Amino acid sequence: MNAVTGTLVDIATADGTADAYLARPDDGRPRPGVLMYQDAFGVRPHLKAMADRLAAAGYAVLVPNVFYRHGRTPVVELPEFIDMAARPDIVGQVVPLMQALTPELTKRDAGAYLAWFAESPLVTDGPVGITGYCMGARLALYTAGAHPDRVAVAAGFHGGDLASEAPDSPHLLADRITAELYFAHADEDPSMPEEQVRRLEKALADAGVPHRCEVYAGAHHGYTQSDTAAYDPAAAERHWTELLALFGRVL
Name the phi and psi angles at 36, rounded to 5: -105, 115
Which candidate in 221, 227, 232, 239 is catalytic? Answer: 221
Annotation marks residue 211 as catalytic:
no
| Number of C-beta neighbours around residue 172 at 10 A | 16
Burial of 190 (0-12, 13-18, 19+ CB in 10 A): exposed
Annotation marks residue 27 as catalytic:
no
CA distance 59 to 78: 28
DSSP-assigned letter for residue 221: T
Annotation marks residue 213 as catalytic:
no
Name residue 10's beta-bridge partners.
19
Which candidate in 189, 227, 232, 239 is catalytic? Answer: 189
Which candidate in 46, 109, 134, 185 is catalytic? Answer: 134
| Number of C-beta neighbours around residue 217 at 10 A | 9
**Catalytically annotated residues:** 134, 189, 221
